[in-house]
Structure 1
């Protein structure tokens, strides 16, 4: 088990050490659950009152806090507690599952596939015709990568994920369990006789940039033609839908249960809250935020925050909610 002195931790965190503790730190924990061999974090003033009864021997706290740690306890004052905690969690991060062999005997790898140096391919994986894997790509058991797909260096694909044909995947991506990339977009039209639906072929692909992370059970559908595109650095939560021909700029965030309909365009740094839905052929410009549970029916200007169903300027929507609440109280 890993353990560190508070001084060793501070060398990595680069905070201001207040107080001291002789306890070896064996991991992080919530303030109310921590024991004497653990470090916790106090991200806001409302949690400061919990420190007195906490058993933690150390805590990350904000640089503007005036708290004192107490006997044989220590604080690491940092500018941003969340970012410091990220470094701390990385320090104690357990190792990834072990591969006994680079390519498991039960994996099926087509003879035309090009496998880069240091790749790991787990049990029951399928790697199709003319697939290209860069260096240090990891496919955990039961991953399928279909024909003519390329995956760049250091990308990790977890079990159950399916990457359909002709997709282009960047480097240092992470796809969690049961992600679907490149399935048919949802395209149907009523038949001429009005008695059924005609399927519209989806012949495009998906292009995913570098350092993209996609959560479990999320879907990115391929384009009807051209490409569905996810830009560098985007982070997508679990159970998210990105429909055909949508385009996400750089460093966008989509929280769980949110979805983009077909041909939506997101600028750079757009944030989509949980369970929000975006109408087809809508543009949300750079730096905009869509509140959780909102329904966006039209374009959103750069830097704007919208809220509600249908979504509108967040401040106006909050005023409406207050007015409705006052009205209901007076009935």
Structure 2
């Protein structure tokens, strides 16, 4: 629990409104949930200010337009001060001050304050950290690490050598030009009937959650970045990489070695063919291929024209075709 006055002190901010307001959660600025603390990170967040449902909002003077009952004005975000706040919150939220192994198996580590369902099976080398919640009929195979606060539903299978709940890859530039990591306090949420292959890394959200929807299947050697949202019944094939804040709709198929830039949305029932690079949002039912990815039919037409021009160029020994006058 944090009061507005404590937050203002940590961030060296000025309070406008009720200094006694108490929060017990920190959420993204555009979260649909009511209450908590939200922080303006960049100018792109300004469009969410007026619709924010937070009780306490931190940011520049533009936040005075917000309906939040308490505003904390700061000239700029200082990474050190911000991380001091976020680390304190994270330690309290996941009770990191109280750790220890509660497992009855010598080959498995289970931290404190976890909830484990029935008929779960953990292979040697599994490590489950503080505050993890696991449903029924969950199998986690050798040497997988499930980090603090992760939520796993029922009937989930996680293969070997996964790291789930890693730090988000979110940095702020300091005045000296060095990058400083922003402490990540969000979670990874894995819904029911998900299957995850081997050697994958799934980052926790910075302030929000990284989510893998019900029934989705994740192959091997895949990176899912912070705050990504994978829809229901998606199929993700090996060696894909999703940058932070990528959103996949439901029933999306992503073939091998696809990469996405961050902050984009791929509509439901879309297909992304192998080795494509997706740099912009696409509507439902998209069929994407290439780099930068575009509609596959258009890509093939462009390729056919290019092949024809190349063939004609070669036939004329490098000289363009010209008709006799």
* C-alpha distance after superposition, 1:182-212 (max 9, x if no partner): 0101111222121x21111111111000010
Is residue 261 of structure 2 the alignment partner of residue 254 of structure 1? no
Aligned-residue Cα RMSD (Å) equals 1.5
What is the rounded CA distance, in whole Å, between the counterparts of 1:238 and 1:324 in structure 2? 35
Shift, 1:109, TM fit: 7.4
Q: Which residue of structure 2 lines up, in the alignment, with residue 139 of structure 1?
A: 122
| Residues matched between the structures, number | 215
Which of 135, 139, 142 pairs up with 1:152?
A: 135
Describe the SS at the equivalent of 2:202.
strand
- Separation in structure 2 between the aligned mates of residue 140 and residue 123 of structure 1, nearest angstrom: 11
Describe the superposition over 1:275-326 as per-residue Cα deviations: whole angstroms up to 9, x where unpaired: 0011100000110111110011111110110110000000000111111222
- Determine if contact 1:123/1:142 at 8 Å carries over to the other structure: no
Output the CA distance in 1 between the equivalents of 2:305 and 2:157. 45
Structure-to-structure mapping, 1:296-307, within 5 angstroms: 296-307=278-289
DSSP-derived class of the 1:202 partner: coil
Distance 2:217 2:306 in 1: 36
> Aligned partners of 1:276 and 1:190: how far apart in 2?
29
Work out which of the residue numbers 280, 293, 297 in structure 2 matches 1:311: 293
2:154 corresponds to 1:163: no
Q: Which residue of the other structure, out of 212, 217, 223, is the alignment partner of 1:241?
A: 223
**Superposed displacement of residue 110, structure 1:** 3.5
Question: Match of 1:215?
Answer: 197
Alignment of 1:170-185 (within 5 A): 170-185=153-168
Q: 1:288 aligns with which of 260, 270, 293?
A: 270
Counterpart secondary structure, 1:263: coil
Asked whether the equivalents of residues 154 and 172 of structure 1 are also in contact (C-alpha less than 8 Å), the reply is yes
- CA shift digits 1:87-146 (9 cap, x unpaired): xxxxxxxxxxxxxxxxxxxxx9734x7xxxxxxx75521000111110000000000000
**SS of the residue 1:330 aligns to:** helix
> What is the distance in 1 between the residues matched to 2:298 and 2:141?
43
The CA distance in 2 between the partners of 1:208 and 1:250, in whole Å, is 11
Q: Which one has the bigger helix percentage?
A: 2
Secondary structure in 2 matching 1:181: strand
Counterpart check, 1:110 vs 2:101: yes
Residue number among 269, 273, 295 corresponding to 2:251 in the alignment: 269
For 2:294 and 2:194, the matched residues in 1 are separated by: 29
Is there any run of 5+ residues in structure 2 with no aligned partner, and where?
1-98, 314-325
Question: Structure 1 329/226 Cα, relative in aligned 2: closer, same or farther at 3 Å?
Answer: same
Q: What is the distance in 2 between the residues matched to 1:161 and 1:321?
A: 43
After TM superposition, what 4+ stretches of structure 1 lie above 6 angstroms from structure 2? none
Separation of aligned partners in 2, 1:160 and 1:199? 26
User: TM-score, normalised to structure 1's length?
Assistant: 0.63
Which residues in structure 2 correspond to 1:22-33 (within 5 Å)?
Answer: none
